[in-house]
Amino acid sequence: MYSDPKGEKPLSPARRLGIFMGALSLCYVSWAYTAEYPAKTIQIINPFPPGATTDIVSRLLTDKLSSLLGQQVVVVNKSGGGGAIGMKAVKDAAADGYTVLVAPPPLVQIPLARKDIGFTYRDFTPINLTAKVYFAMVVKKDAPWKSLEEIIVEAKSNPGKLSWGTAGSGTSHHFTLELFKILTGADLTHVPLGGETPMVTAILGGHISTAFVTLGTVTPHLQAGTLRGLALTSPNRLKEFPDVPTTVEKNYPTLNPKAWIIFLLPAKTPQDVVKRLGEAWREALKDSEVIAKLEKAGFIIENLSSEETANFLAEEHKKWSEVARIAKITPQ
């Protein structure tokens, strides 16, 4: 027989009925909320400028997601702070399923490098790990370095002379620079530029020496010959770029970062809503047209569940925390 909270006497039948009806009411509210969701436009917040990998993937998915969910899904760019501004905005948004974050590795890296940004990856509930994309180390077409080895030799011989562009402190480009320095012993100057598009512009203009940029962003320049690829972080050469060697070939097998694209919600979003969106994402990523567009843009489709994505994020946090430790990156 049930007891009251103090354990002093059995609960009366009326009290037990009240508890049961209260629990039933909560279940009904949850069911009703899910049945009505979504009832309005869903915003995907891209924390980087237009043209970034997060922006590209999001926009390739919106039409299919809108069709599956019965409501419009739109992309809203909220860039700044190397992605931190948009990420914090989603963390602070209502946990009702109408504000979604699309995030790359800086989600776990920024808190390792910067103080008081107001979030960690644990402040979000994953929907789906959608895709990954390789990085390419690029220089402008008439740069003096013809190979990865040549640029490493110069960066070691003239510490700080060469410059490496990033989207900002704590971004994947910054952490890749630190990993590059750890593995090669090269010394390059960090130049934060706010996003991949400005990074490419700076390389083309000769304002910085090099950078690791996602393949989706630099593919048009590599195809046009305005940028020269020195190395790819793929395990094997890509058929699209048969003349660009891999970091594995160059005896740097652990210099293999990839930009991943994950969609997330504020941490306290109801699980029924997380499930509803997860189903939509998984279905969208099985669509042949969506698959073709993502692969054409250079992305590798992952399509992992919320639980699988949560485990992946924990592993990423562990890996980049170790890089931060070795590189002596402390929150500034």
pLDDT (tens digit per residue) in 45-76: 999 888 888 999 999 999 999 999 999 999 99
User: How much is the pLDDT for 13?
Assistant: 60
User: How much is the pLDDT for 11?
Assistant: 56
User: How much is the pLDDT for 199?
Assistant: 95
Supply 105's token pair: 């590795």
pLDDT band for 2, please (50, 70, 90 cuts).
Answer: very low
User: How much is the pLDDT for 332?
Assistant: 81
pTM attached to this predicted model: 0.80
Specify the range with the lowest mean pLDDT, choosing from 26-40, 194-208, 229-243.
Answer: 26-40
Specify the range with the lowest mean pLDDT, choosing from 29-33, 59-63, 260-264.
Answer: 29-33
pLDDT digits (tens, 9 = 90+) for 209-256: 999 999 888 999 999 999 999 999 999 999 999 999 999 999 999 999
* Rounded average pLDDT over 269-286: 98
User: How much is the pLDDT for 284?
Assistant: 98
Contacts of 53-59 spanning 24+ positions with Cβ under 8 A: 53/104, 53/133, 53/196, 53/214, 53/216, 53/217, 53/259, 53/261, 53/299, 54/102, 54/103, 54/104, 54/261, 56/216, 56/297, 57/102, 57/130, 57/131, 57/261, 57/294, 57/297, 57/299, 58/102
Alpha carbon distance 264, 306 (integer Å):
9
Beta bridge partners of 142: none
Element at 85 (helix H, strand E): helix 84-91
Of 10 and 250, more confident:
250
User: How much is the pLDDT for 3?
Assistant: 45
Instruction: Check pLDDT > 90 for residue 268.
Output: yes
The radius of gyration computed from the CA coordinates of the chain, to the nearest angstrom, equals: 23
